[in-house]
Structure 1
Amino acid sequence: MEITKRALAEAWQRTAAGQSLLHGVGLPPVALSDDELETCAERLEEAGEDGLCLLLDEGGTVRGHHGPYREVFATRDLEQALYLIAEAAVCRRVGSPEEAADALGRIDPAWGRRFRSGGLDDTETVEACGSDPLEGLAWIARTWREQAPYTNLVFYRAAPGRTVDAERLALLYGADPEQVAAGTRLKDLQAVDGGRAHWDRQGESCCFGQAGGWTFLLYHDTPPGAFADKEAYAALGIEESVRLSATSAKAIYTFDYVRDGRRVDDEWGVLELIWYERGLAPYLRGGELDFLNRAVRRAELDHPEVTNTFELYFHALEESLGLRLPRRDFTEGEVRVAYWARKQG
């Protein structure tokens, strides 16, 4: 059945009727054009609300929007649209993802299961995470927000059975060949002059290594001439890369995932992590990054003791993509480090 504005309104009225949890929750504003959507979004903004607006196109697709430009879901399934509207309403009324899961489960047990899985249906098996988030990738999340130890955390992965060579990668970025060849580690640089010299030059350094099937390279800014040898870079066999970038002075934190030469982003462009709110999926539901939506939801529900959203997000990156950084190597100074090579003349 094609979704119409009337059918959507009547279905929501039936859904909300008799549900105390949805008492007083009306259907979000429904726009039939981009201009109407922009007007709806402006009215919500003027009222100091960050609610959901719906755009119903001629083909009967319901598109959920936060603001006029950020589409958060698109569906031609009426039941799915009702669930997503209810999910948004409940999440803004309760205090935690666990409470939201319980509330949606009281409305419909299938909705509770769906929320817990983080997906768009309730068919997925949900297994609790048995690991400590702060022993994987999330341990670095808080200091990274202040650009410590580095502004950019970049991960590279090749095809199955191959590994991106960490030393070659660092050299192509511009690392000092002598320090790379010598196997210089963080503790070696910290031992010189009580570490003061390294503190002064940390912005000119990078660290690199391998963990969880990925090769990582951490740095502040790349020097001029990085990647000058395009053929050598292509020979590394990189098929996937993930870049996390922090600009603490502007409170801008970005996630950029590239696979097989194209950005995975549902045409949103480089994604700002500042959009992520606990209990709300950060990316387009059912889109290319829905696997990360599901991982974020599981991180929230499995680790209620973790209240920092960046730690939850980083744990979701570990669970969904396998990203890791060796905490002990950083703590004990064993991680490989090199300064950028100085230009001669």
Structure 2
Amino acid sequence: MISVELSELLADFGRLIGHVEETGERVRVTDGDEPMGVLVPAAELAELEHFAQRVRGRRERRPRSKAGREHPLGPEQQSPYVRYVHTDGVRMTFTRDHAIVAELRSVEELAWLENNARIGRQSYIPPEQAAAFEEFLARQPLAGDGIAWIADRWKGQEPFTVLEFIKGPAPEDVALAYGADVQDINDELMLHQVWERDKREGTDDVYRVLVFGSELGWTWLGYHDLGDAFSRSLDPPPSQQITLTAIEPKAIYDFRYYRDGVYQNPFPLEDDLDEQRDMYELIWYTPGEPPFEPNAPLDFLNTYIRVAEKVSGWTGGIPLFFAGLERAFDLSLPRDAITSGQVRCARPTRR
């Protein structure tokens, strides 16, 4: 890779861009012998951007240069090439006949791109392999009862308005962290006992208890989100957390997924926006169409949901979405135990 000073690039970029276009090689740019940036051929840069955008989960933000030098108001032309300077005064785009030929990126941004592209390539599955993987998933038997069976009742806010699945901590530890009464936990209070007491005494404690248990390595919780009776937070955050909330009067049914406390955005991330833009509403999902865009952190769920559409036997958006989640994360709820009340629960800590 040849190296030039920034002053040389600015004075004679036509020759240098011609070299990049002809050879497909990068050009290192220095400023006073200090590394400043790299001229990258457009095709190579497009490939880096493609794979870098496919990195999911926690990642460092793309470094951006702060405006440190003046830049021209309009484009500049030399021979067949036109130079456009970005507002930060560092990044530059070079075109010929309205087609991008090369771009100048800072050393820091290019290093970020290359690292994320490397990670993105490692998780890339060619279309043929993706199709084979989809077929493999379709053949796998479902473990436990799954969660799709509760979807229609949950949509009607029965038996819970909030369902949570937490990876790592034991059910009793989660219940205590959420503010459940320690005596109820020690006494192993059962949901059917609360039902019977409500019927006998005319109370409605069933709407103020936290129901909990464990299935297939996940702690699951069910409760009604009334008056913020439970804290809904763990310290440190679990490795994975899934939250499903039903608000029937407003027809809002949302899904949230966290890894190591980091919210996994349902939309493609933009560099200049906060990572948490919104939850995903289940009514946005149309069976037959992938719910998440290919470059969104949650796009890995598309395969599981499409498989569920083909093999699960469920109909309707919410049951099918639940069927996809149960396959993606190996989620299950004990159907007979919940419907008969043979599951543990606890009231909020008595004040």
**Alignment TM-score, normalising by the size of structure 1:** 0.57
Query: What letter matches 2:258 in structure 1?
Result: V
Query: What letter matches 1:220 in structure 2?
Result: H
Q: 1:234 is paired with a residue of what secondary structure?
A: coil
Query: What letter matches 2:315 in structure 1?
Result: T
> How far off is 1:332 after superposition?
2.6
Q: 1:191 is paired with a residue of what secondary structure?
A: helix
More strand, by proportion: 2
Q: Which residue of 2 aligns with 1:149?
A: 159
> How far off is 1:192 after superposition?
2.8
Q: Which residue of 2 aligns with 1:29?
A: none
1:189·1:195 contact (CA, 8 Å) conserved in 2? no
1:165 aligns with 2:175: no
2:301·2:324 contact (CA, 8 Å) conserved in 1? yes
* Deviation digits for residues 99-140 of structure 1 (CA, Å, limit 9, x no counterpart): xxxxxxxxxxxxxxxxxxxx8723222122454699311111
Query: What letter matches 1:202 in structure 2?
Result: V
Among 206, 210, 213, the alignment partner of 2:210 is 206
1:121 aligns with 2:121: no
> How far off is 1:234 after superposition?
2.2
Q: Which residue of 2 aligns with 1:319?
A: 327
C-alpha distance in 1 between matches for 2:344 and 2:261:
28
Structure 2 gaps of 5+ residues are: 1-41, 44-98, 102-124, 270-276
> How far off is 1:225 after superposition?
7.5
Q: Which residue of 1 aligns with 2:292?
A: 283
Among 311, 329, 337, the alignment partner of 1:329 is 337
Identity over aligned residues, as a percent? 33
C-alpha distance in 2 between matches for 1:263 and 1:246:
19
1:275·1:282 contact (CA, 8 Å) conserved in 2? yes
> How far off is 1:286 after superposition?
4.3
Q: Which residue of 1 aligns with 2:222?
A: 218
2:142·2:327 contact (CA, 8 Å) conserved in 1? no
CA, structure 1 residues 219+256, in 2 after alignment: closer, same or farther (shift >3 Å)?
same
* Deviation digits for residues 12-66 of structure 1 (CA, Å, limit 9, x no counterpart): xxxxxxxxxxxxxxxxxxxxxxxxxxxxxxxxxxxxxxxxxxxxxx979xxxxxx
* Deviation digits for residues 260-299 of structure 1 (CA, Å, limit 9, x no counterpart): 2211114452111110001011111243212211111001
More helix, by proportion: 1
* Deviation digits for residues 217-245 of structure 1 (CA, Å, limit 9, x no counterpart): 111126658549x8xx425x611100001
> How far off is 1:172 after superposition?
2.0
C-alpha distance in 1 between matches for 2:144 and 2:155:
15
1:177 aligns with 2:185: no
CA, structure 1 residues 179+59, in 2 after alignment: closer, same or farther (shift >3 Å)?
farther
Query: What letter matches 1:294 in structure 2?
Result: T
Q: 2:128 is paired with a residue of what secondary structure?
A: coil
Q: Which residue of 1 aligns with 2:246?
A: 246
> How far off is 1:175 after superposition?
1.4
2:230·2:348 contact (CA, 8 Å) conserved in 1? no
2:143·2:330 contact (CA, 8 Å) conserved in 1? no
Q: Which residue of 2 aligns with 1:261?
A: 261
C-alpha distance in 1 between matches for 2:319 and 2:228:
33
CA, structure 1 residues 311+210, in 2 after alignment: closer, same or farther (shift >3 Å)?
same
Q: 2:129 is paired with a residue of what secondary structure?
A: coil
**Alignment TM-score, normalising by the size of structure 2:** 0.56
CA, structure 1 residues 225+251, in 2 after alignment: closer, same or farther (shift >3 Å)?
closer
CA, structure 1 residues 120+263, in 2 after alignment: closer, same or farther (shift >3 Å)?
farther
Query: What letter matches 1:292 in structure 2?
Result: L
C-alpha distance in 1 between matches for 2:317 and 2:230:
33
1:190·1:196 contact (CA, 8 Å) conserved in 2? no
2:180·2:230 contact (CA, 8 Å) conserved in 1? no
Q: 1:238 is paired with a residue of what secondary structure?
A: coil
Q: 1:156 is paired with a residue of what secondary structure?
A: strand
C-alpha distance in 1 between matches for 2:229 and 2:197:
28
Query: What letter matches 1:141 in structure 2?
Result: A
1:185·1:337 contact (CA, 8 Å) conserved in 2? yes
Q: Which residue of 2 aligns with 1:53?
A: none
C-alpha distance in 2 between matches for 1:139 and 1:300:
15
> How far off is 1:193 after superposition?
5.8
C-alpha distance in 2 between matches for 1:59 and 1:225:
57
2:291·2:302 contact (CA, 8 Å) conserved in 1? yes
Among 249, 258, 282, the alignment partner of 1:273 is 282
